[in-house]
Amino acid sequence: MTPPARATAGDVAVITLVRGRREHLARQQRSLSRGTVRPAQWVVVAMDDPGLADFAPRDGVRPTVVHLDADPRGLPLAAARNAGAERALAAGARVLVFLDVDCLAGPHLVSAYDAAVTDDPDVVWSGPVTYLPEGLDEEQLATPWTLDSPHPARAMPPPGQRLLGAPPELFWSLSFALSARAWTATGGFCEDYVGYGGEDTDFGMLVVDRGLEHGWLGDARAYHQHHPTSSPPVQHLEAVVRNGAVFADRWGWWPMSGWLEAFEERGLVEREGDGWRLARDDRPDSRPDSRVDSRAT
């Protein structure tokens, strides 16, 4: 049983981006409210989601909603994270915790991030994320740590341990935290990225470029609620190619190579020199969906 919230971390802000996903957002609110320490702020950035104005939890952590207009090219994920951070910092946040809308916070997530950032403010900390299976009932979703099994792609430490020197190319924005000072040093996410793909790896590289370090934090555990998705993410084809080109211009190499090679096998993209472009005869909407993979983000 989760212990009741003992205190509020007065200068910790949790930042969440949302478009739809109302049930997932409501469960995240309950998970933050049940934590051993509650954040002082929960900044929810609504991306082209005016209906979020009706989201008003009766008790527990209350949202501060920031509205962001749509971008015709896709969801403005990078700009939304920057807008959330700006609002949190303006309200006095010292620790910024970014948590994907699909993620439930473990009981110690906020307190663990707060402690780690306080101890090492020049480290960007990331916690383990478990991808929950489909079909869980509300009772199981209220205690997701009973199904703890972090994604194997990240060599996360067990509870009680911290690990410095995490590879920047493995950074993901599902769950991470940093100090206000570190955020200012990075300049935030590059807003040239619009839609799915690339902006996380770019930020991971930017952290190291600005003299900061990545770390993994075993106590800051989160639990990703299931939703259907495809692998490779064919529905994000154009964004992946466009954002990959942005990344290559900034860093000199193409990220997301596994997805691009899978797209190539399907005839959706083709190589162009050292990079990639959409295939000239591409018709992604006419092609069959690829297999569903609940671990894709």
User: Is the confidence at residue 288, as pLDDT, over 60?
Assistant: no
Question: Any bridge partners for residue 272, and if so which?
Answer: 275
Mean of per-residue pLDDT scores for the chain: 90
Q: 3-state DSSP call for residue 47?
A: strand
Three-state SS string over 60-122 comes to CCCEEEEEECCECCECCHHHHHHHHHHHHHHCCCCEEEEECCCEEECCCHHHHHHHHHHHCCC
What pLDDT does residue 293 have? 32
What pLDDT does residue 229 have? 78
Question: Cα 89 from chain centroid?
Answer: 19
pLDDT band, residue 156 (cuts 50/70/90): confident
The rounded distance, in Å, linking the Cα atoms of 78 and 43 is 15
pLDDT in tens, 49-106: 988 888 989 899 999 999 999 899 999 999 999 999 999 999 999 999 999 999 999 9
What radius of gyration do the chain's Cα atoms show? Answer: 19
- As a whole number of angstroms, the longest Cα–Cα distance in the chain is 59
- Provide mean pLDDT across the span 200-204: 98
Q: Where in the chain is the domain with CATH 3.90.550.10?
A: 7-224
What pLDDT does residue 3 have? 42
pLDDT in tens, 12-52: 999 999 999 999 999 999 999 999 999 999 999 999 998 88
Q: φ and ψ at 106, to 5 degrees? A: -65, 165
Look at residues 130, 129, 158, 155 and name the one whose alpha carbon lies nearest to residue 214: 155
Class in CATH terms, 7-224: alpha beta
Whole-model pTM: value is 0.91
What pLDDT does residue 228 have? 82
- Provide mean pLDDT across the span 170-188: 97
What pLDDT does residue 21 have? 93
- Provide mean pLDDT across the span 227-237: 87
The rounded distance, in Å, linking the Cα atoms of 195 and 261 is 20
pLDDT in tens, 126-151: 999 999 999 999 999 999 999 999 98
Residue with tokens 């079909």: 135
CB-based contacts of 139: which residues, under 8 Å, 6+ apart?
A: none
What pLDDT does residue 154 have? 81
Look at residues 196, 191, 201, 281 and name the one whose alpha carbon lies nearest to residue 234: 196
| Lowest mean pLDDT across 8-12, 212-216, 275-279, 293-297 | 293-297
The rounded distance, in Å, linking the Cα atoms of 232 and 275 is 18
Structure-block tokens of residue 179: 């100090």
Better pLDDT: 93 or 231: 93
Contact 100, 297 (CB under 8 A): yes
Better pLDDT: 146 or 291: 146
User: Is the confidence at residue 286, as pLDDT, over 80?
Assistant: no
Residue with tokens 């300049």: 187
The rounded distance, in Å, linking the Cα atoms of 230 and 209 is 32
- The runs of H, that is alpha helices, within 91-198 are 109-119, 138-142, 180-186
What pLDDT does residue 243 have? 97
Structure-block tokens of residue 156: 């996360």
pLDDT in tens, 158-167: 999 999 999 9
Structure-block tokens of residue 82: 């920057």
The rounded distance, in Å, linking the Cα atoms of 219 and 77 is 26
pLDDT in tens, 234-285: 999 999 999 999 999 999 999 999 999 999 999 999 999 999 999 976 444 4
